[in-house]
Amino acid sequence: MEKFDITIIGGGESGYSAASQAADLGAKVCLIEKENLGGTFLNSGVFALRKILTTLGFYPSSYSSKDLAEPNFELDVKTAIEKANQLKQAYSENWEINLKEKGVHIETGEGCFAGPKKVEIKTPNQTDLISTEKIVLATGSETKHPETIPFDGKTICPLENLGELQELPEKILIVDGGAYGAEAASLIKILGSKPFLCEQNSRILDDEGSEIMDFYEEQVRKKRLKIILNKKIVSIYKRDGEIDVSLDGGIKFPVSKIFFGGVRAPCSKALNIGTSDIRLGEHEEILVDEKMETSLPGVFAIGSVTRQKRIAHRNFEEAKVAVYNCLGKSRSLKQDKIPSIIYSDPQFASIGCHFENAHHKGFRALGGDAIIEGPDENGALIQKGLFKLTIDKETKKMLGAQIVAQNASDIIPVLHLAIKKGLTLKDLSNLSFGAMESIEPIIKASRKILTDLKTSR
């Protein structure tokens, strides 16, 4: 029986990150995945499609603060989708090559917990048993189909099936997709379809501040993307290749295809942990502590199998924390130091806590904001973005930031570092951006907020 230091079940973004980091730290690692590496992150096609559209000049680059330039050629939708499918396959293959070069042993099959320090690998032909010091469960989650919705896999599908589009329907409805749905809707709109974004909640993101969300939703609507909030689907009726949708309040409209985000169901049942000492939550999620360890010592869980939000930076940080603890190096997950980014048009990014919830975390906070300006089509300066900062009233250190801007993903890493290093508002205002154009809004906003605070005294 082969023995490993760490065995990871699940080859999505979380599992891949854990395997890569563990190998870098010198561990002998086994990664078990039943399909292609990449999970929902790669195989849904949203990530690959965004990369393709950015390369072709149809999507705002995360490396430029310039607005999206209108391309001087027509977008070939079929070619873009084909290229995206090729790209996601290439990424999956590159992930595998990268792990193998690091010495990670990759097994294709279904991984199952077989007791402390033991994992089964099931394939159609046989079942193998491996020995391992530590186990990391990273099997992800899947869309939970509402019982009242007739999923057929063709016209009504889970949101992760977006990458399977072979042609572009005229109208697409995305239901309860949250951040992931907002990004998908932006891509669909650029491809040429008319997207509708419908949420049961009163916000696209219900855990961010109301003012910044008002602005974000307003900017998204300006991109001709229809947002319908605080509404549930009442009925769906298929007819002549279209779907008649009825929402609360008598709202009715036809669409060609529906993608559901909705509730995610953790993929924990196939792990065979029901009779173990690993505790599950009411939604079958695996419960973990701040070290990402389950109730059974030596067994860890990361990613959306723990029912946490699917955020790329969070997946990486959870993997890092789990791996370090597997190797005896104590680490805890710092929730407020994980950035969140929506690669929509415009982008939204946040880190830490915002002013409206800072007091719940024991802070006396001060908040301030500054607009991000840019030229309109006639060269006149108009508001293109909003930058909000939350600082500790006593120390003036940064507690959090929220940004709506075309290049929000460029700005947030600097603020991430500022929070980690404990920088104050004055430190931010004294930064020198030089060639780093993305830092300019931070400096301008910090100086404005400092001035506003002095004036208000």
| Residue extents of the structural domains in the chain | 3-143+265-335, 156-262, 346-456
Q: Please check whether the two domains, 3-143+265-335 and 156-262, share a CATH topology.
A: yes
Task: Give the pLDDT score at 61.
Answer: 52
Predicted pLDDT of residue 457: 57
Number of H helices, E strands in the chain: 10, 22
Amino acid occupying residue 22: A
Separation of alpha carbons 1 and 56, rounded Å:
50
Are residues 258 and 297 in contact, defined by beta-carbon separation less than 8 angstroms? Answer: no
Q: What is d(CA 304, CA 311) in angstroms, rounded to the nearest whole number?
A: 9
pLDDT computed for residue 65 by the predictor: 37
DSSP code of residue 294: -
Q: What is the pLDDT of residue 436?
A: 59
Do 12 and 88 meet the contact criterion of CB atoms below 8 Å apart?
A: no
Among candidate residues 2, 54, 62, the one with its CA nearest the CA of residue 32: 2
How far, rounded to the nearest angstrom, does the alpha carbon of residue 365 sit from its chain's CA centroid? 27
Pairing of strands 347-352, 340-342: antiparallel
Radius of gyration, alpha carbons of the chain: 23
pLDDT at residue number 302: 97
Q: Which residues contact 240 (CB under 8 A, 6 or more apart)?
A: none
Asked if residue 302 lies in contact with residue 296, where contact means CB atoms within 8 angstroms, the answer is no
Starting from the edge strand earliest in sequence, which strands make up the sheet with 398-405, in order? 340-342, 347-352, 398-405, 381-392, 365-375
3-class secondary structure, 310: coil
Cα atoms in the Cβ-side hemisphere of radius 13 Å centred on 62: 17
Q: What is the CATH number of domain 3-143+265-335?
A: 3.50.50.60
Exposure of 295 by Cβ count < 10 A (0-12 exposed, 13-18 middle, 19+ buried)?
A: middle
Low-confidence ranges of the chain (pLDDT < 50): 62-73, 435
Phi, psi of 354 (to 5 degrees): -105, 170
**Cα–Cα–Cα angle for 367, 201, 333, nearest 5°?**
55
Contact 407, 62 (CB under 8 A): yes
What was the pLDDT predicted at 29? 98
pLDDT, position 435 = 46
Tell me the CATH architecture of domain 346-456.
Answer: 2-Layer Sandwich (3.30)
H helices within 327-407, ranges in order?
none
Which CATH architecture best describes the domain 156-262? 3-Layer(bba) Sandwich (3.50)
